[in-house]
Structure 1
């Protein structure tokens, strides 16, 4: 069985139970390269009146991230972690879709490392019955402050010695991002087998991107290793914490489905 088959059945069941009045929001979380964007697109094709909103498309424009790097911490120049997204835009999109109003869905060009002009954003289906909200940290929760004390990799040890960046990331996750993720009706995790698999998957993504286009956002090996290091802390935390409250689809290193695990409270209610 494939993740697409499992989630098609799962979403159909959720839609059957979902009250009319506003769209069902499925949060789809997965590490870089786990296949969540492709999966979300395929699921949207199976369900009429659906829309895909990617957290990646909510990245702040490059100039805004440069300003954040200058005013808060230099590591915020790199897109990815909480604090580098336009959360207000995401909240406005959900509010408009909930109200049955037309809305355009933002797009971010990773090769250019910048937002696509708004005139080129596609319009969401109206009326919208299902929103597939996908992203590498969609639904993530903040860590306890004490968990931030020690760096998890060389990037944090060298570039965030006092922890200011990771504390700011965590504060963003506990604040505006918590409000954004609160709109999720049902959370799904595509769980990588371990952290070392994630850089390999991201390397495959970069190779494919390099074959399609050029731009300042294209990374060589050294840049890629540094880039994924920005994601390591939160990815490890998600893999540890999120299975306690999400439908978890465990993948092997080749992205094949090896287990489907409902959250413990759902499993307990079946007994």
Structure 2
């Protein structure tokens, strides 16, 4: 793979502003959302590090770490639709586990946080999950980050027209996208309701996602060169699984998030 730029981090002043915003609004569960590759994980880690430097107990939970296991996705692929073998869209997360973790962390309980191995495409065994120690429930900040936090489902009529080649060729009857939309409406609000305040990193549009996601894949490969990662063609197909909900998130979340920060194509905050 050719080297590509990957965000090294956000400016310290912006990181401090995000933490101060959470603390000033008493946001015990603080959400950070934005399209794939927008820098959510990077920003979450920076905010957590700053919080710890101030003596604040903090935990970070990514929605990417609560995917159902690979074997469960393969079962969904057999029972519902072959496209459900691919992680990412609504319907491929263990929402009940995520809610259980948020409740435990909010209550100050000790717990293990799941981890998903993206190169291996499976959840790591529980023995490899990091342990968050117990704490005073009023003194812990939980950051939850994910690409479609609080995104509402689409109306049924919006599902009729395919948004890309993947839907046209592999979901001709719309069964996969209807399943994902139903899951988004039915399962995820229980998790969304647990988020006190939401920051949206609002990129210039979904068209930048293939490049941003490719940069992520290059970074994954660089961190673990002995294991295979996706090539550019595979990444282009992979992101099509996210396009429908990603475009819905980009359209709707500015009116839902408490704070929206516009990003340019280089992920630089514009406001």
TM-score by length of 2: 0.88
Identify the match of residue 261 of structure 2 among 220, 239, 249. Answer: 249
SS at 2:270's partner residue?
A: strand
Per the alignment, residue 29 of structure 1 pairs with 33
Identify the match of residue 184 of structure 1 among 195, 200, 219. Answer: 195
Contact kept? 1:49, 1:125, Cα under 8 Å? no
SS at 1:227's partner residue?
A: helix
Contact kept? 2:30, 2:198, Cα under 8 Å? yes
Displacement of 1:145 in angstroms is 1.3
- Cα RMSD, aligned residues only: 1.6
CA 4–159 in structure 1, closer or farther in 2 if over 3 Å, else same: farther
CA 71–186 in structure 1, closer or farther in 2 if over 3 Å, else same: same
Does residue 1:42 correspond to 2:40, yes or no? no
Does residue 1:198 correspond to 2:188, yes or no? no
Displacement of 1:146 in angstroms is 1.3
User: In the TM superposition, what whole-angstrom CA distance separates every residue of 1:225-267 from its partner, at most 9, and x where no partner exists?
Assistant: 11000011111111111001211111111111112xxxxxxxx
Displacement of 1:123 in angstroms is 1.5
Displacement of 1:3 in angstroms is 6.6
Contact kept? 1:3, 1:257, Cα under 8 Å? no
Task: Map 1:46-125 onto structure 2 (within 5 A).
Answer: 46-47=50-51, 48-125=56-133
User: Aligned partners of 1:16 and 1:256: how far apart in 2?
Assistant: 24
SS at 2:98's partner residue?
A: helix
Aligned length: 253
User: Aligned partners of 2:45 and 2:117: how far apart in 1?
Assistant: 17
User: Aligned partners of 2:187 and 2:215: how far apart in 1?
Assistant: 32
Per the alignment, residue 9 of structure 1 pairs with 17
* Unaligned stretches of 5+ residues in structure 2: 1-9
Contact kept? 1:58, 1:108, Cα under 8 Å? yes
Does residue 1:130 correspond to 2:150, yes or no? no
* Unaligned stretches of 5+ residues in structure 1: 260-271
Does residue 1:145 correspond to 2:156, yes or no? yes
